[in-house]
Amino acid sequence: MAGALLVQLQDSTMPPVNSIRSAWRSGAQLSPPIETERLTLRTLRKSDLEQLLAIQSRPDVARYLYWEPRKREAVQQWLAPAMATPALEADNQCLTLAAVERESDRLAGTLSLFLRSLEHQQGEIGFIFHPEFQGRGLAAEGARVVLRLGFEVVQLHRIFGHCDGRNLPSARLMERLGMRQEAKLIQNEWVKGEWTDDWIYAILDEEWRQAWRTRP
């Protein structure tokens, strides 16, 4: 990842992206916003607090996550570091993007890309969307861009995601992204007073390239 790299991802064979231009160099930062067909992906702002609270305070959103529904103070504590745009050059750094539906100018959810291992070029994708924006393909539309950033900008070799085995919408989303299920870990975590299963999905850089070369 050393040296300067100007990325223009406008290939018509890839997901519908009107403009992705991100300056990338050693020690630099990604530079959203990024526009897709229906979304604007940008860094989070302090002014997003109320809309984030409306998402993260919902029991149905937190049901299969590690945390309980959050109150305002907890969302504020989460937001402060999430507003940063790290260069993703150290293990466990995370880039979190706000997914704003342009038609309504509302925050539909958030998308995250974690650098889990610089040495092994491993990343992790995460997504949290308000239920009102689910079932319309918006999460997949935004997540495809995050995968592109991971493979084409950060130059990762493998990106994985995981979900509670009962969270079928998240599992189906990862499958739609072309990620294959690598494991079903049975009762491997004690979360919120019960044993839970962890389903792991992943996609390799060559699998990503092949999937989008053959996409109709």
Average pLDDT over residues 35-55: 96
Q: What is the tally of structural domains in the chain?
A: 1
Percent of the chain, pLDDT > 90? 78
Residue 202 in any domain: the answer is no
pLDDT exceeds 70 at position 5: no
Cα torsion 8, 15, 99, 199: sign:
negative
Q: Lowest-confidence range among 99-103, 146-150, 175-179, 212-216?
A: 212-216
- For the entire predicted model, the pTM comes to 0.85
Average pLDDT over residues 159-166: 98
Q: Lowest-confidence range among 2-6, 80-84, 201-205?
A: 2-6
pLDDT exceeds 60 at position 29: no
Instruction: Give the CATH number, domain containing residue 17.
Output: 3.40.630.30
At 112, the pLDDT band (50, 70, 90 cuts) reads very high
Are 64 and 167 in contact by the 8 Å Cβ rule? The answer is yes
Residue 46 to residue 24: CA distance in whole angstroms: 25
Residue 13 in any domain: the answer is yes
The pLDDT mean for the chain works out to 86
Residue 41 in any domain: the answer is yes
pLDDT of residue 214: 65
Q: Does 211 or 31 have the greater pLDDT score?
A: 211
52: tokens are: 């984030």
Q: Does 67 or 84 have the greater pLDDT score?
A: 67
Residue 182 to residue 174: CA distance in whole angstroms: 12
At 37, the pLDDT band (50, 70, 90 cuts) reads very high
Residue 143 in any domain: the answer is yes
At 31, the pLDDT band (50, 70, 90 cuts) reads low
Average pLDDT over residues 182-196: 97
Are 141 and 38 in contact by the 8 Å Cβ rule? The answer is yes
Residue 196 in any domain: the answer is no
Residue 184 in any domain: the answer is no
Residue 174 in any domain: the answer is no
User: Using omega within 30 degrees of 0 as the cis cutoff, is the peptide bond preceding 216 cis?
Assistant: no
Query: Could you tell me the residue range of the domain that residue 12 belongs to?
Result: 5-162
Residue 192 in any domain: the answer is no
pLDDT of residue 84: 86
Q: Does 23 or 124 have the greater pLDDT score?
A: 124
